[in-house]
Amino acid sequence: MRGEVEVWSGDDLILKEANMLTDGAGALLADIMTVSPSLADISDASSILDTSNYTIQAISFGTGSDAFRGNGHSWNSRKNSIWSARAADILTGVSGNVVISRSYRDDNDIDSSDQPNDPGSPIAPDPTKVVLEEDTNVSSNISNTDISSVFPGNGQLTNFLPSAISFAVTRDVSSLSGALAYPKVGSILGCFPEGSSVSYSLGRNQVIYFDGESPPTAGISVESLGGYFNEVSSMDIHGFVNAVPGTDATSGLTTSSNADFSSNGTVEYAVTLSRSDALFAHAYGGIYHLGLWTIDMKESLLNGNTPPFAFSVLNNPRKYRLFCRKGVSKDLTYIEDITAYQDLTIKWRLHFL
């Protein structure tokens, strides 16, 4: 079995390389070969044998460990001052969220050619890893509450910016009961904007880049046109993009094969990030890791869930196992003009023959 990954920015092919199968692929094959056919005769367990439990069911995106202590994940005086000025508009739904990321540069000459993300050193490819990146707790603190205690890092870019998600996570945390707490937490955890149907009279979610001067100076602001994942609710809070039927890669992770499948055994998985999805991912450290995931049947059952496991944005009963991964040396969201992002399409082919 082998695989290859293509990444397209608009109509331009920017990457075509082989992937890496992980130990999780072997574990899946072991599950397939050892699951008992007798479960078919047990009404409460027969769904464990469903084919969907043993195929690719999600894709996710990751960046370097250090990115989670900086970039859009950080909280600082500059960010707080902008939030304070816009608090009333944010809370009344007049204005969208604000994500603020630091530029590489240490002068006031911020322009659209700056690359304002800093991933640190992403981990090297390793087939034994069960996550895309290690040590991804954020270090920011809101209302004397360590945000990593509310949601520990899970090795990848997560999905907390939509207000419905950030509010659901923080509402039961007493120290975060203040009105501005939930959008602040969402802004820290990131990493993908609301959908295009969410509109505000004063603008959608925005990314603001600033420099390293004291006091820092905002250099450029880019407004979101809407993300695909949150428009169709195909990404859960943990950053897993769900496998969906059909061929529209803007609706989630699609699966396809051609008429020659019996002879070549090739399956293609595809997903498209909107230009705003790419812009926001860049502000949180970029994309240096990709992962395809299957359902981890044992962990899903141990969590008290019963198949079939319906996908859910907030309380996803699906627990995943990393099947294969792809690491890159250059940020997939790198761009020379951050106002000129195009949709980013990932095509991942696995050859089973």
Task: Give residue-wise pLDDT tens across range 309-320.
Answer: 999 999 999 999
For the question of whether the overall pTM of this predicted structure is more than 0.75, the answer is yes
Q: What is the pLDDT of residue 215?
A: 55
Number of structural domains, the chain? 1
| H helices, E strands: number in the chain | 9, 15
CA distance 255 to 113: 36
For the stretch 115-169, pLDDT in tens is 456 677 899 889 999 999 999 999 888 888 999 998 999 999 999 999 899 989 8
Q: What is the dihedral of CA 282, 340, 226, 10, to 10 degrees?
A: -90
Phi, psi of 175 (to 5 degrees): -70, -10
Q: What is the pLDDT of residue 205?
A: 84
Q: What is the pLDDT of residue 212?
A: 55
Which residues 6+ apart lie within 8 Å of 136 measured at CB?
A: 62, 65, 68, 153, 154, 155, 156
Phi, psi of 48 (to 5 degrees): -65, -25
Q: What is the pLDDT of residue 204?
A: 82
- Of 159, 194, 158, 163, the closest CA to residue 179 belongs to 163
Low-confidence ranges of the chain (pLDDT < 50): 103-115
Q: What is the pLDDT of residue 182?
A: 84
Map tokens 């390389």 to a residue: 17
Q: Residue 301 is part of which domain span?
A: 2-351
Q: What is the pLDDT of residue 112?
A: 42
